[in-house]
Chain A
């Protein structure tokens, strides 16, 4: 992937998408392989679309705060088939929350990692494991949902649709519940600069319920680029909760796209905690497609150095009587940047919508920078919609109060920062996880977070 610089600007803009579709064409046989027809079609369509698209330019409204194209225009290795790496996962993580009992799913460099079983069926019919394997074993099930919930033309998503090879699959049948959370650990561990594009598909049938914990980790100092996409189908009256913890190093760039499709009466809660990362952009699209849905989207990001964390949400109230609630908080140190763009769309017929959004940022230095951009588009008249954004510093009165009781300035600041973050942490409903994340956030704020003990995974 050599970049030729003699092109003029317009061609340059399309160069990087072009090089990906070229890459696709070059390895078409591997990409399409013996995949079912529906998937081949998805890929070909996406590759074709990609060649007509360009990656968002610097001025692009959607990516205003995070210009990603240079990261995609890289010479990183892109593995189409997994490169074998053996490692003992338990050597790398030591879990100090033994009570966090989960089903484990490891994704290594974008590919589901299990030496024995790629798909597991639990006694009550719940299936989880590798998406690539699910495509082989349950093509009809995958076909009914894959790429069905993408509600954007974002070229990064198109790229993922064309080239993603694996990821996590979850299927929860009607009225069934997961006995304990599934914990997905995305591990980046390669001996070269690597780009990965995992794809996840979670299917929640009517009245089912599941909790998922996702942890993103880099395990060595190589440069990584992740462009991941997740689709979640939540049928009527189903309950889905997803907690994600991003903990990657300063040279890692991550773009994640999550699409949630909610049918009537369903309830979804997502919570995204960014403990660390170089450049992180999270896109969350929620489509409230049936009446009486509840959606709660939470986020917390802690940045320092020159890190950049950018959260974008799009809550689409397409039907009446749905509630959505967003809370995103950031603590920004040094010269870091945190951004939040929250779009709430209330369609014409979506009467009795209740949509709340709040974004608060705590700046620890005058060089840290927060961007807050609420976007409300309301076409119905009987709605309750509120949004608020605050950017502030530590409250000096509170600081003095704590210090006047003998608590050191540093400790007082930490208490106040933790209190700020706790509003998000307390909403984690898996209790051992809440405690564990609370500890991690505290360690992170103290600057004591190390890579090897940072995982909340179940490991004995």
Chain B
């Protein structure tokens, strides 16, 4: 589904991603962990098409196509969804008109007729129940004045409406209370099929109790320095990142060691 090869990106001349290789197949769940500032959000944004990052090297293939060639909106319509680490507040744009426009753009792309107002409301209601989002939130402007947790829930709500093939959830779990975390995880699990895939970026092993990953990657200093299974997350929880950092720094110096 997604194949990233030697991806390097920089911003304002500063290199952030320094050669990422990652392959995600349909049906898989990948977790990406890593210390602050290591480039996780940058990777997510580049995949979603944010153009402030310059891709200096490498390729990204999505369903056999060159992803980097596509505009953000076309990527979205082709099934890529980014759950933002920091969802943007957009005063004056109502949730309803935003969501309806988005859903109908997706439908147009699939050559489907736009949803009628009543059909749209029906679907909205369904998904709202699924992610247990407060009804009043959808009467407001996009994310405006939403609490941190509400913003995260709203991301999952949008994901539920747009039914992406590849969801990239950037720290959707941070700032959620225990119940909300379960709801969000349930939402992700309910939407999971053999045809779609999920990349969850997280700092907490806890989320992975709910959303069980097939692979856990550690991103450090712009590179994926370690890949493992769920157990790796436990190890990180226990030991922190220092050992990984050391291992990786040594590796960069040409020494292959295991700490």
> Taking beta carbons and an 8 Å cutoff, which residues of A are in contact with B?
395-398, 400-409, 411-412, 415-416, 418-420, 422-423
B88 at the interface (CB under 8 A from A): yes
A407 touches B82 (CB 8 A): no
CB neighbours of B49 from chain A (8 A): 400, 403-404
A-contact 0/1 string along B73-107, CB 8 Å cutoff = 10111000110100110111100011001100110
A403 touches B76 (CB 8 A): yes
Q: Which of B76, B88, B92 has the most CB of A within 10 A?
A: B92
B71 at the interface (CB under 8 A from A): yes
Contact of A398 among B48, B72, B76, B90 (CB under 8 A): B90
B158 touches A406 (CB 8 A): no
- For the complex of A and B, list the 7 residue pairs with the smallest distance between their C-beta atoms, beginning with the closest: A419-B92, A406-B76, A405-B102, A403-B72, A401-B88, A406-B105, A419-B93
CB neighbours of A403 from chain B (8 A): 49, 71-73, 76
> Taking beta carbons and an 8 Å cutoff, which residues of B are in contact with A?
48-50, 52, 71-73, 75-77, 81-82, 84, 87-88, 90-93, 97-98, 101-102, 105-106, 109, 141-142, 158, 162
Closest residue of chain A to B86 (Cβ to Cβ) is A397
Given A400-B48, A404-B75, A406-B102, 20 new contacts (CB under 8 A): A398-B88, A398-B90, A400-B50, A400-B88, A401-B87, A401-B88, A401-B90, A401-B142, A403-B49, A403-B73, A403-B76, A404-B73, A404-B84, A407-B105, A415-B93, A415-B101, A418-B92, A419-B91, A419-B93, A419-B141
Pairs across A and B, CB under 8 Å, 24 listed: A397-B88, A398-B93, A400-B49, A401-B88, A401-B90, A402-B90, A402-B98, A403-B73, A404-B48, A404-B72, A404-B82, A405-B73, A405-B158, A405-B162, A406-B76, A406-B77, A407-B101, A407-B105, A411-B105, A416-B93, A419-B91, A419-B92, A422-B92, A423-B92
Q: Which of A396, A405, A422 has the most CB of B within 10 A?
A: A405
Contact of A405 among B52, B76, B91 (CB under 8 A): B76
CB neighbours of B71 from chain A (8 A): 403, 409
* B34 CB to nearest chain A CB (Å): 22
Contact of B73 among A396, A409, A416 (CB under 8 A): A409
Closest residue of chain A to B91 (Cβ to Cβ) is A419
CB neighbours of B50 from chain A (8 A): 400
* B102 CB to nearest chain A CB (Å): 4
CA distance A259 to B259 in the complex (A): 81
CB neighbours of A408 from chain B (8 A): 73, 105
A415 touches B98 (CB 8 A): yes
CB neighbours of A419 from chain B (8 A): 90-93, 141
CB neighbours of A420 from chain B (8 A): 92
Given the known A-B contacts A400-B50, A400-B72, A411-B105, are A405 and B98 also in contact in the complex, defined by CB atoms under 8 Å?
yes
CB neighbours of A423 from chain B (8 A): 91-92
B162 touches A415 (CB 8 A): no
Closest residue of chain B to A405 (Cβ to Cβ) is B102
CA distance A402 to B94 in the complex (A): 12
CB neighbours of B142 from chain A (8 A): 401
* A35 CB to nearest chain B CB (Å): 50
Closest residue of chain A to B48 (Cβ to Cβ) is A404
CA distance A411 to B106 in the complex (A): 13
CA distance A401 to B106 in the complex (A): 15
Closest residue of chain B to A412 (Cβ to Cβ) is B73
CB neighbours of B106 from chain A (8 A): 406
A406 touches B92 (CB 8 A): no
A407 touches B93 (CB 8 A): no
Given the known A-B contacts A411-B101, A415-B97, A415-B98, are A406 and B90 also in contact in the complex, defined by CB atoms under 8 Å?
no
CA distance A215 to B96 in the complex (A): 31
Closest residue of chain B to A408 (Cβ to Cβ) is B73
A406 touches B73 (CB 8 A): yes
Closest residue of chain B to A410 (Cβ to Cβ) is B73
Contact of A407 among B73, B75, B87 (CB under 8 A): B73
Contact of A406 among B91, B97, B109, B141 (CB under 8 A): B109
CA distance A396 to B90 in the complex (A): 11
CB neighbours of A412 from chain B (8 A): 73
CA distance A402 to B91 in the complex (A): 13
CB neighbours of A416 from chain B (8 A): 90, 92-93
B92 touches A407 (CB 8 A): no
Closest residue of chain A to B161 (Cβ to Cβ) is A405
Closest residue of chain B to A411 (Cβ to Cβ) is B101
CA distance A407 to B49 in the complex (A): 13
CA distance A214 to B139 in the complex (A): 32
Closest residue of chain B to A415 (Cβ to Cβ) is B93
B162 touches A406 (CB 8 A): yes
CB neighbours of B93 from chain A (8 A): 398, 402, 415-416, 418-419
Closest residue of chain A to B90 (Cβ to Cβ) is A398
Closest residue of chain B to A403 (Cβ to Cβ) is B72
CB neighbours of B162 from chain A (8 A): 405-406
CA distance A408 to B108 in the complex (A): 12
CA distance A455 to B88 in the complex (A): 36
CA distance A296 to B185 in the complex (A): 48
CA distance A402 to B72 in the complex (A): 9
CA distance A91 to B141 in the complex (A): 40
CB neighbours of B158 from chain A (8 A): 405
Closest residue of chain A to B73 (Cβ to Cβ) is A403
CB neighbours of B87 from chain A (8 A): 401
* B181 CB to nearest chain A CB (Å): 23
CA distance A404 to B52 in the complex (A): 14
CB neighbours of B77 from chain A (8 A): 406
CB neighbours of A401 from chain B (8 A): 84, 87-88, 90, 142
